Amino acid sequence: MKTLKQLLVFSALIIVAVKGFAATITSKATGNWSATSTWVGDVVPAIADDVVINGGYTVTVDGSYSCNSLTLNNGAGVALIINSLCSLTVSGNVGYTNGIATITNNGTLSIGGTFTNVNNGGTFTNNGTISVSGTITIGNNVTTFNNNGTFTIADLSLGNANLNWTNGTNSTLNISGTITNPSRFVLTATASGNTVNYNGAAQAVKAVNYYNLTLSGSGDKTFSVAETISGTLSINGTAKAALAVATNSTANELILGGVGEAAGTWGSTNSIATNKNDTYFALSTGYVTVSTTTGCTKVDGLNKLSVITLNKQIKIIIYGNTGKQSIVTVYDILGNEVIKETLSNNQTVIDIEVAGTYIVKVKTGDNVYIDKVVVK
C-alpha cells in the first residue's frame, strides 16, 4: 500500500512539474525556430508553450514543431515563415496584435483554435497545407490571403474590412462552416484548376465566378444568383445544389456522386431541365446548363468509358463491355509508367500518391483510349 501511495504522489509531482515548464517564449532576433539565439532565455519553444514573435523579427520554422498558442506582436516587420517539408502545429489560437504581420507557409500549418486579426492588416500566403479548426476573425483592416495550396477552414467572421482571398492555379479551398458578413469576403476563384469546396452542412454559396466548384458534406448549398463555373461542378455525399429560383447557372462539366454526366440541362423535378435529379438538386425552378459530357468516349465500337479524378484517385469504368480484356496504364507527364493493371469487373480505382498531370491509356481489344487527366 505504501508503495502504491508513493507512486501516486510521484506521478502527481511529475504532472505538476510538466505543467510548470509551460511558459511564454518570446523572440529576441530574426532566426530559425530551432535556434536558441532566436528566443529570450535561449530556450526553443516546447509543445505547451505560448509563443510571441515581436515586431521587426522573422522566425523561420525549419523542422516539425508544436506550441500552445502563437502571437505576432508589436508593429510592422513581424513575420513567420514555414519552410517546405516543415510543419508547425498550434493546438490553441493564433493572432495578430498591434501591427501588420506576414505569414508564409511552404509546408504544413495546423491551427487547432481560432485565427484572429481584429485591428490589424496583414498578408497570409499559403504554398502548402493549412487547416484552421476554429473561426477566422477579421476586424477593421484589410487582410490578404493568397492560397496556392490546400487551405481548410471552418467559420469566417468578418467585420468592417475586407478579407481579400485569391485562390491560385490548382489550389483548393475547403469551407465547412458559415461566413458572417459575406459581403466582406472578396473571393477570387477563377484561376485554372482551382477548386472551392463547400463541405459542411447547409451552406450559402458565395456569388462569384468559379473554376471548379464542389458541393459536398450534407444539406442544401444555396445559390443566390446564376453561377458561372468554367470548369467542373461536382456534387457529392448528401449535399444538394439549391439553385436560385428561375436562374440558369452554367458549368463546363458535371459530376454527380463521382460519376461524370452528359452535356445538357440539369436540375430538380421542379425545373424545366431535360435531366431531372432530386438526389443532387434541391427542389427549385433553377437549373444548370452543362456544355461538355464528362469522361465518356467510344471504346470497342459500342462501349463507353468514364474516367473520373477525385481525391488523388483515378476511377475508370467501362460500360457494356463485351467481355474483351482491358488493360489500364497510367503514365506521369514525363512518360514514365506509374501503374499497369488489367480491369476486372469493368472498373478500377487507382490511388495516386502525388498530385499532378497524368496520361491514362486504356486498351480494349484493338481499340485504345488515351487522355490527359489532372489529379489533385
Mean pLDDT of 200-212: 97
| 128 has a pLDDT exceeding 50 | yes
Kindly give, in sequence order, each residue whose CB lies less than 8 Å from that of residue 99, ignoring residues fewer than 6 positions away. 55, 72, 73, 74, 75, 76, 78, 120
pTM: 0.78
pLDDT band at 259 (very low <50, low <70, confident <90, very high): confident
Write the DSSP assignment of 142-203 as a string of letters.
Answer: -EEEEESSEEEE--EEE-SS-EEEEE-TT-EEEE-S-EESGGGEEEEB-STT-EEEE-SSSE
pLDDT of residue 349: 84
pLDDT of residue 16: 39
Count CB atoms within 10 A of the CB of residue 349: 12
Higher pLDDT, 342 or 1: 342
Greatest CA separation found in the chain? 84
Higher pLDDT, 62 or 306: 62
| 240 has a pLDDT exceeding 90 | yes
Query: Bridge partners of 195?
Result: 172, 212
| 18 has a pLDDT exceeding 60 | no
What separation in angstroms does the CA of 260 have from each of 56, 63, 115? 52, 42, 38
Query: Bridge partners of 153?
Result: 175
3-state secondary structure of 3: helix
Distance CA 1, CA 167 (A): 64
Higher pLDDT, 316 or 228: 228
| 1 has a pLDDT exceeding 50 | no
Angle, CA of 64, 70 and 71, to the nearest 5°: 145
User: Is the CB of residue 87 less than 8 Å from the CB of residue 110?
Assistant: yes
Sheet containing 356-364: order of strands: 337-342, 326-332, 356-364, 367-375
pLDDT digits (tens, 9 = 90+) for 151-204: 999 999 999 889 999 999 989 999 999 999 999 999 999 998 899 999 999 999
